[in-house]
């Protein structure tokens, strides 16, 4: 049996943890989805006046969670939210910074009621500062962080990264922050406020490109599909496709596997520094050799020589790859309208407390009555809270938008 067989739900490392999810869009739901996959009981509190998007993206973000509708501008509904928060371990939100306080559900209010509560926030640009209350989305953060300036072919102008990288990075950083705050609570007995932003996450993900400026005073240029500081590491065409090549083994072993002895005898390519100085020339030699055979040939030959090499695949090809298949990277879950949906699993393997995708997505508010009953409300109050959600027109509400 493979260690990557799809896990059954019910015994995750966060089993017993109660999380309230006030998030929308992508960054916040990414955090709460990760917590849910690790076994937390995640309850989404949904704005009943907000349009339901549905679709594969929403389904993947919202599976493994329960959902209830509450109009937080209604005093009685807000009191129900307080009752829910009083028994929670974590509240996660990604409103613009001012919105949570305007709604009366900010960190100060909730922590005063429940000092052990971990309150987690994502915004576009941070909780304070000149941009704090601007609306923020992934591509804005990509541009502001410098990420787009180092992406794409040289001289082509800024390019967006092909995924919502600041959203997923911010969501993942917030998951780490929540787990660290819960661990600190074990020592101190107190919860705390942990927050990040799309901009902070994007700048942090710049990593070595950022410190090239901070430490070396160098503004990193675009390098396209080639490594910024190592040559000839990058993507090259083959006879029938493309490969990524990383000659990390002995240079002589790479040259031999490539049938390119001149890479060893030519003094321009003697060491890493000279290869960077003549990166165009060394890349031309490598490219000329790689076009003489197929992708499969070079993947086998170069890896056998200790030089990392892999094909460049389309998404459908990636999911058909035998290693991806072996890793069981997705699970089938029930859809909100019947049938089954594919959902990406958390890419972590726990030997004793496995993470799992246990439940599919549901329509907003699906569990409203169930959760209100758990909170101790009688039938009349359940009927009011479940039925009043749609009474206030959206145009009259002032909840603001997410970070």
Q: Report how far residue 71's alpha carbon sits from residue 141's, in angstroms, rounded to the nearest whole number.
A: 30
Please state whether beta strands 242-245 and 234-237 pair in parallel, antiparallel, or not at all (unpaired). antiparallel
Identify any residues that bridge with 120 across adjacent strands, giving them in sequence order: 92, 194
| CA dist 9 → 30, 341, 346 (Å) | 19, 17, 12
| CA dist 266 → 247, 259, 269, 285, 367 (Å) | 17, 14, 6, 11, 70
Give the DSSP H/E element, type plus range, for residue 21: strand 18-21
Residue 71: how many CB atoms within 10 A of its CB? 23
How far from the centroid of its chain's Cα atoms is residue 307's Cα?
30
Q: Report how far residue 333's alpha carbon sits from residue 68's, in angstroms, rounded to the nearest whole number.
A: 20
DSSP one-letter code for 230:
S
Please state whether beta strands 242-245 and 309-311 pair in parallel, antiparallel, or not at all (unpaired). antiparallel
| Long-range CB contacts (within 8 A, 24+) of 371-376 | 371/43, 371/66, 371/68, 371/84, 372/68, 372/80, 375/80, 375/83, 375/84, 376/83
Q: Report how far residue 100's alpha carbon sits from residue 78's, in angstroms, rounded to the nearest whole number.
A: 12
Cβ distance 385 to 36 under 8 Å? Answer: no
Burial class (CB in 10 A: 0-12, 13-18, 19+), 183: exposed
Active site residues: 167
Residue 56: how many CB atoms within 10 A of its CB? 11
DSSP one-letter code for 269:
G
Q: Report how far residue 347's alpha carbon sits from residue 326's, in angstroms, rounded to the nearest whole number.
A: 13
- At residue 201's C-alpha, the angle toward residues 197 and 206, to 5°, is 150
Give the DSSP H/E element, type plus range, for residue 18: strand 18-21
Measured between alpha carbons, how far apart are the two ends of the chain, in Å? 44
């Amino acid at each position: 049996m493979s260690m990557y067989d799809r896990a059954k739900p019910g015994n995750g490392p966060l089993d017993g943890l109660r999380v309230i999810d006030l998030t929308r869009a992508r960054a916040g739901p990414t955090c709460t989805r990760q917590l849910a996959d690790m076994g937390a009981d995640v309850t989404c509190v949904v704005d009943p006046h907000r349009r339901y998007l549905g679709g594969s993206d929403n389904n993947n973000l919202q599976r493994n969670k329960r959902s209830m509708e509450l109009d937080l501008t209604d005093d009685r509904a807000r009191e129900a939210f307080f009752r829910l928060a009083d028994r929670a371990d974590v509240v996660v939100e990604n409103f613009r910074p001012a919105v949570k306080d305007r709604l009366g559900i900010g960190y100060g209010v909730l922590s005063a009621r429940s000092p052990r509560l971990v309150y987690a926030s994502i915004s576009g640009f941070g909780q304070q500062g000149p941009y704090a209350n601007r609306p923020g989305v992934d591509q804005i953060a990509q541009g502001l962080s410098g990420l787009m300036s180092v992406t794409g072919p040289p001289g082509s102008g800024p390019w967006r990264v092909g995924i919502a990288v600041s959203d997923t990075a911010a969501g993942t950083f917030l998951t780490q922050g929540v787990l660290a705050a819960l661990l600190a609570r074990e020592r101190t007995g107190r919860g705390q406020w942990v927050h990040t932003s799309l901009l902070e996450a994007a700048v942090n993900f710049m990593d070595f490109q950022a410190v090239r400026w901070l430490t070396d005073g160098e503004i990193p240029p675009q390098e396209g599909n080639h490594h910024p500081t190592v040559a000839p590491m990058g993507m090259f065409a083959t006879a029938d496709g493309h490969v990524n090549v990383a000659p990390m083994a002995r240079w002589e072993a790479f040259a031999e596997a490539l049938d390119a002895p001149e890479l060893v005898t030519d003094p321009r390519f003697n060491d890493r520094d000279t290869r960077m100085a003549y990166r165009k020339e060394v890349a031309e030699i490598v490219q000329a050799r790689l076009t003489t055979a197929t992708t499969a040939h070079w993947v086998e030959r170069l890896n056998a020589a200790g030089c990392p090499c892999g094909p460049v695949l389309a998404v459908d090809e990636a999911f058909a790859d035998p290693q991806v298949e072996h890793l069981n990277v997705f699970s089938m879950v029930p859809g909100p309208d019947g049938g089954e949906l594919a959902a990406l699993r958390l890419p972590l393997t726990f030997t004793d407390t496995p993470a799992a995708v246990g439940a599919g997505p549901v329509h907003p508010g699906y569990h409203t009555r169930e959760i209100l009953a758990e909170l101790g409300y009688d039938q009349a109050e359940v009927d009011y809270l479940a039925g009043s959600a749609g009474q206030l027109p959206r145009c009259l509400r002032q909840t603001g938008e997410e970070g």
